[in-house]
Amino acid sequence: MATINFDKEKKLIFSAIQPTGTFTLGNYLGAVKNWGPLQEEYNCIYAVADLHSITVRQEPAKLRQNSMQAYALMQACGLDPEKSILFFQSHNHNHAELSWVLSCYTQFGELGRMTQFKDKSQKHADNINAGLFTYPVLMAADILAYNADLVPIGVDQKQHLELARNIAQRFNQVYGDFFTLPEPFIPRMGAKVMSLQDPTKKMSKSDENPNACILILDDKDTIIRKFKRAVTDSEAEVRYAQGKDGINNLMTIYSIVTGKSLEDVEKEFEGKGYGDFKLAVGEAVADHLAPVREKFDRLMADKAYMKKCYTEGAEKAMMITQRTLSKVYRKVGFTDFR
């Protein structure tokens, strides 16, 4: 049986990652590469949120593939299954069971005000299902099942965390202090990485132009080719300045992956053209991401190790959440099973 080696003095972070494909260079440099160091400061629990994925129609084989890739990417980007709990959400039934109880402490009007429900209903007008409406309750159950202290969120998730706090407070008012009220966790962020084709916009994998975005699993030739096609300006001078959005973006990326200051970058490419600079950025990024790609490939090829990791991860997750769920069942008046 798997054992949990968490330090009781550390706060607990919970985060769930949608299996929607690989991370961009922007995701990686902005936040993901900080996951590893977080394990030293906090108790960390990460789930691949496959239950949440099916609010939108999924092709089953593709969902399985994306879920496995997301799990491998978590490890490839620095998460250690010996230090953190890493598992598939669907492997821990306590999430769904707690979600049902919490849905009975959630007001219909609260769910109706969720902006993501309105947005997704417009995007998927042919499939406005009940899960799309109630999934914020499952999100609350994901968090409250572990009595998480902190939850990393972006602007689009702020409303969902507030709902989780409201549900917890409502339950606590009826049954006494039980659930921890989770706080938003604002991780240390790297610099914002912009599109290679429109450097006034954030890099995004949903960009229609495939040359605008670097994916962390892109091979070296692809990365270099995309950087060679990056939009710059007509000055042909590598310097950081207002109005040079394309060069500023490339200089920022190069600075992060090499550890050099912007001043050092300017000196290094003084008198050189943009062609030399773009090639250098592409090679530096490819070399920086090589260990991630290599570890990802090793993990995806080792199915036995992956299964061992996610099985033990689910066992650890269930040990924590079963205690929470049993106490919740007792508090609401369900008959003891054992």
CATH code, domain carrying 276: 1.10.240.10
Asked whether the beta carbons of 13 and 142 are under 8 A apart, the reply is: no
pLDDT band at 190 (very low <50, low <70, confident <90, very high): low
CA distance 326 to 323: 5
pLDDT in tens, 86-136: 999 999 999 999 999 999 999 999 998 888 777 777 777 777 888 888 999
Q: How far is CA 103 from CA 112, 244, 333, in A?
A: 13, 51, 16
Tell me, what's the pLDDT at 36?
A: 87
List, as one string, the DSSP characters of 65-80.
Answer: HHHHHHHHHHHHTT--
The sign one gets for the Cα dihedral 96, 99, 101, 103 is negative
> Does the structure show a pLDDT above 80 at 27?
yes
Specify whether 120 is catalytic: yes
132 and 268 both lie in a single domain: no
CA distance 230 to 233: 10
Tell me, what's the pLDDT at 157?
A: 74
Q: Does 2 reside within a domain?
A: no
pTM for the structure as a whole: 0.88
pLDDT in tens, 40-84: 999 999 999 999 999 888 899 999 999 999 999 999 999 999 999
Asked whether the beta carbons of 286 and 217 are under 8 A apart, the reply is: no
Specify whether 201 is catalytic: no
Compute the average pLDDT of residues 257-268.
Answer: 94
Tell me, what's the pLDDT at 272?
A: 93
pLDDT in tens, 16-25: 988 987 889 9
pLDDT band at 159 (very low <50, low <70, confident <90, very high): confident
258 and 325 both lie in a single domain: no
CA distance 208 to 75: 29
Compute the average pLDDT of residues 293-298.
Answer: 97
Domain span at 254: 210-295
96 and 25 both lie in a single domain: yes
258 and 314 both lie in a single domain: no
Tell me, what's the pLDDT at 131?
A: 82
> Does the structure show a pLDDT above 80 at 1?
no
pLDDT in tens, 200-222: 999 988 889 999 999 999 999 99
Domain count along the chain: 2
Compute the average pLDDT of residues 164-179.
Answer: 97
Q: Does 122 reside within a domain?
A: yes
For residue 2, the one-letter residue type is A
Number of Cβ within a 10 Å radius of residue 196: 27
Looking at the chain, how many residues does it have?
Answer: 338
Of these residues, 11, 83, 205, 228, which one is catalytic? 205
Q: Which residue has the higher pLDDT, 335 or 34?
A: 335
111 and 238 both lie in a single domain: no
For 326, the token pair is 């049993």
Tell me, what's the pLDDT at 156?
A: 64
Asked whether the beta carbons of 187 and 37 are under 8 A apart, the reply is: no
Tell me, what's the pLDDT at 155?
A: 62
Tell me, what's the pLDDT at 163?
A: 95
Give strand pairing partners of 17. Answer: 48
20 and 136 both lie in a single domain: yes
pLDDT band at 183 (very low <50, low <70, confident <90, very high): very high
Of these residues, 10, 83, 202, 295, which one is catalytic? 202
CA distance 256 to 26: 11
Of these residues, 120, 226, 244, 278, which one is catalytic? 120
Give strand pairing partners of 152. Answer: 185
Compute the average pLDDT of residues 151-176.
Answer: 90
CA distance 270 to 273: 8
Q: Does 248 reside within a domain?
A: yes
Q: Does 165 reside within a domain?
A: yes
50 and 115 both lie in a single domain: yes
166 and 309 both lie in a single domain: yes
The closest alpha carbon to 216, from 35, 40, 49, belongs to 35
Q: How far is CA 279 from CA 224, 228, 250, 266, 267, in A?
A: 6, 6, 11, 15, 17
Domain with residue 107: its CATH number is 3.40.50.620
Tell me, what's the pLDDT at 57?
A: 87
270 and 312 both lie in a single domain: no
Q: Does 144 reside within a domain?
A: yes
- HSE at residue 135, side-chain half, CA atoms within 13 A, is 21
